[in-house]
Amino acid sequence: MTTMRQVAQRAGVSAKTVSRVMNNDRYVSDDVRQRVERAIADLQYVPNLLARTFRYGRDAAIGIAVPDISDPFFAAVIHAVEEIARDRGVALFVTSVGTDGKYEQVAVEALLGRQIAGLISTPVAADQSYLMRWQSRTAMVFIDRAPSKITADTVVEDDRGGGYAATAHLIEHGHRRIGFIGDSASIATTAGRLEGYSAALLDAGIDEDRRLVTLSAMSSREAAEATWDLLGRREAPTALFSSNARCSIGVVPALQERGRTDIALVGYGDFPLASALRPALTVIDQNPDALGKAAATRLFQRLDDPDRRRRRRMVLPVRLVMRASCATAEQDQHPAMAAHATTKGC
């Protein structure tokens, strides 16, 4: 590929002068501008936009790394970040890092190697200290989970509060045996939601039965299997708390396949068509749009003011969206009333 230096040599000017022409600097004479433009045309030079950094007054590109771009929550976050980036005339690179922490560094550093000006990332590994050497030249904001062994701007949500609200809601409907379906306690968001679940049971004077807690559903299929396992037990739960949208997408069809309209359900995280299900799914709404926009806004603030020293941790609230998937325990005991419960808001 032709370089700016080659264009400068052809035009008989410095590389800095070529840059000025490219940036429409008004202090470049018409004669010099014509020579540079002719050299650009002759050599078919295409500027490397990724090499333009914010210190030159040009927004180049930012990147976002999430566990899974197909996850409804993270897909919505990416869309929100893209909206902010588009308004700034900035390109967005996206990558999935998966759920296994050993692949995070390779995936994230591959993104950073593209000379991006800023990074928004969801940590999945236990240690993000490898990013310290990048931090002096790349603005960073972490989302959904706080990073470990590095200080940086972070935007998270009230996972403990959401877990508490979901469980308390089921308790208010008379349920005492509430199952918890999640992926792994090593994931900070899941740990926070499980903590909220346990706290709600404790505050209600209900002994927690750890046999009702499943922490192995890394996929929708595994969430469905966990549902069948819990419901097949002798002392089965009357209600379930699904700790993320991926799990909910597995739990809902598992209940429908077995015709279990008597099981109440609250899911953490809304997703497309959740409100169109029968019964419509009650959820803890994370508002990924607000999360993505808050993270992108913070990233551009740091890019606009690179000398800003204070790192912020922003905790966004979550809210319970009541729909029809939470029948009362009393209704669960009467099959004739179960059908009515599926159409009743909870």
What tens digit of pLDDT does each residue of 136-191 get?
A: 889 999 999 999 999 999 999 999 999 999 999 999 999 999 999 999 999 999 99
Lowest mean pLDDT among 13-22, 65-74, 259-268, 287-296: 13-22
How wide is the angle at C-alpha 322 spanned by C-alphas 213 and 295, nearest 5°?
Answer: 80
75, 80, 81, 86: CA torsion to nearest 10: 120
pLDDT confidence band for 344 (50 / 70 / 90): very low
**Looking at residue 335, what is its pLDDT?**
37
pLDDT confidence band for 342 (50 / 70 / 90): very low
pLDDT confidence band for 48 (50 / 70 / 90): low
**Looking at residue 44, what is its pLDDT?**
82
2 in Cβ contact with 44 (< 8 Å)? yes
Q: Which 3 state secondary structure label does DSSP give 92? A: strand
The string of pLDDT tens digits covering residues 12-31 is: 999 889 888 877 777 899 99
- Does the pLDDT of residue 346 top 70, yes or no? no
Lowest mean pLDDT among 31-35, 74-78, 145-149, 335-339: 335-339
User: Cβ neighbours of residue 59 under 8 Å, at least 6 residues apart?
Assistant: 88, 89, 90, 117, 303
- Does the pLDDT of residue 258 top 70, yes or no? yes
- Distance between CA 7 and CA 270 in Å, rounded? 53
- Does the pLDDT of residue 280 top 60, yes or no? yes
pLDDT confidence band for 318 (50 / 70 / 90): very high
List phi, psi (to 5°) of 231: -75, -15
Q: Give 306-346 as a DSSP string.
A: TT-----EEEE--EEE--S----HHHHT-HHHHHHHTTS--
The string of pLDDT tens digits covering residues 210-223 is: 999 999 999 999 99
Name all domains of the chain by residue range, CATH numbers in brackets. Answer: 4-47 (1.10.260.40), 55-156+288-316 (3.40.50.2300), 159-286+320-341 (3.40.50.2300)
**Looking at residue 329, what is its pLDDT?**
54
Mean pLDDT of the chain: 88
**Looking at residue 144, what is its pLDDT?**
96
pLDDT confidence band for 55 (50 / 70 / 90): very low
pLDDT confidence band for 315 (50 / 70 / 90): very high
pLDDT confidence band for 236 (50 / 70 / 90): very high
**Looking at residue 340, what is its pLDDT?**
31
